[in-house]
Amino acid sequence: MNKLAIFQLSDQEFNKLRQLIHKKAGISMSDAKRSLVAGRLRKRLVALDLSSYDEYITFLKKDEQAGTGEIQRFIDLLTTNETWFFREERHFEFLKNHIKALPISKEVKIWSAASSSGEEAYSIAMTLAEEMGLSSPWQIFGTDISSEILAKAKKGVYMKSKIRGLPPTLKKKYMLNGVRTYEDYLAIAPELKRKTQFKQFNLFDSPLPTVKFDFIFCRNVLIYFNQEDKQKVIHRLVSCLKTGGYFFPGHSESLHGLYDKLKTVEPSVYQKIN
């Protein structure tokens, strides 16, 4: 019999696992996520030769002390990393119109605070490169909790057939064609990569950057947090935003009433006020 077929996730095990992902990443899992959790973790049970989710929970608890990296793998498996270039395009239009009005010598710092595999950060970089050129003093920071997805972002190599949302002119200008074993891939051009840095960062408890940003993108991640956690994350991120700077949540993530230092400029565009 296929070993995969015998794993059953009990209520108690599901509750322990969702408490753990909430503690580690702030992600709140509803009852509807039960089969997703079971499915995504099943391969770890097989790889570790465990016979139940309960054994896996014990293994994770030991890892909290020993630090063998299993907790990180657990987080990598339970985060949803879907993203694409120029997702929710209106934010990029807003950014472009703002950047246009700035002198090209102006330093601009932008944070993509749940960057996933990097498409968001590189879309911001392309927007700035188009408006300010590559030699102006702008910089993009991309961060994410998942080490696996960050490795992909740092690499900046994307399968041609999976690239979505990238206008052909920008693709031609800022991406390089892979050769030989990489012929099905495109790579972000080195001059754009040099302007973009990636680092691991947990929105809840990683030490905050000391620099202040002009724009912060924190899109399509707040939906995974409960109201109290969402508020905590917004307070932390907005403390890193310059007064007058802009905060972009995802289009379906309203911040209404969550923080009086944020003024709504237009739907899903907020500005930090004094």
Of the pair 12, 227, the CB lying nearest ligand SAM is at 227
Q: Is 184 a catalytic residue?
A: no
d(CA 164, CA 134): 24
The least CB distance from residue 116 to ligand SAM, in Å, is 3
Helix (H, G, I), strand (E, B) or coil at 39: helix
**Which member of 80, 139, 197, 231 binds ligand SAM (CB under 6 A)?**
80
**Selected binder of ligand SAM within 82, 183, 228, 266 (CB under 6 A):** 82
Residue 70 vs 144, nearer CB to ligand SAM: 144
Whole-angstrom distance, CA of residue 139 vs CA of residue 13 = 44
The token pair at 57 is 């929970």
Q: Is 144 in the site for ligand SAM (CB under 6 A)?
A: yes
Cα atoms in the Cβ-side hemisphere of radius 13 Å centred on 11: 0
Q: Does 83 sit near ligand SAM (CB under 6 A)? A: yes
Of 92 and 201, nearer to ligand SAM (C-beta) is 201
The amino acid sitting at 200 is Q
- Reference 269, options 258, 260, 253, 240; nearest CA is 253
Structure tokens at 66: 């020993």
Nearer to ligand SAM, 27 or 186 (CB): 27
Instruction: Please report the sign of the dihedral spanned by the C-alpha atoms of residue 259, residue 263, residue 269, residue 271.
Output: negative
The phi and psi torsions of 243 (rounded to 5 degrees) equal -65, 130
| DSSP helix/strand/coil, 110 | strand
Question: In the complex with ligand SAM, which residue's Cβ is closer, 136 or 146?
Answer: 146
Residues 241 and 209: their CA atoms lie apart, in Å, by 10
State how far the Cα of 255 lies from the Cα of 251, in Å rounded to an integer: 10
Contact 196, 108 (CB under 8 A): no
Touching ligand SAM, residues 21-60 (CB under 6 A): 25-27
- For position 204 contacting ligand SAM by CB under 6 A, the verdict is yes
Shortest separation between residue 109's beta carbon and ligand SAM, angstroms: 17
CB of 231 to ligand SAM, least distance (A): 14
Contact (Cβ atoms closer than 8 angstroms) between residue 235 and residue 180 = no
Q: Does 214 bind ligand SAM (CB under 6 A)?
A: no
Segment contacting ligand SAM (CB under 6 A): 42-50, 76-84, 167-175, 179-187?
76-84
Give min distance, CB of 229 to ligand SAM, in A.
9
Report how far apart, in Å, the C-alpha atoms of 86 and of each of 19, 49, 102 are: 34, 41, 22
* Annotated catalytic residue within 73, 76, 87, 144: 144
Question: Is 40 a catalytic site residue?
Answer: yes
- Quick note: the x/- pattern for ligand SAM over 95-134, rule CB under 6 A, is -------------------x-x---x--------------
Catalytic residues: 40, 144
Binding site for ligand SAM (CB under 6 A): 25-27, 79-83, 87, 114, 116, 120, 144-146, 149, 201-204, 219-221, 250
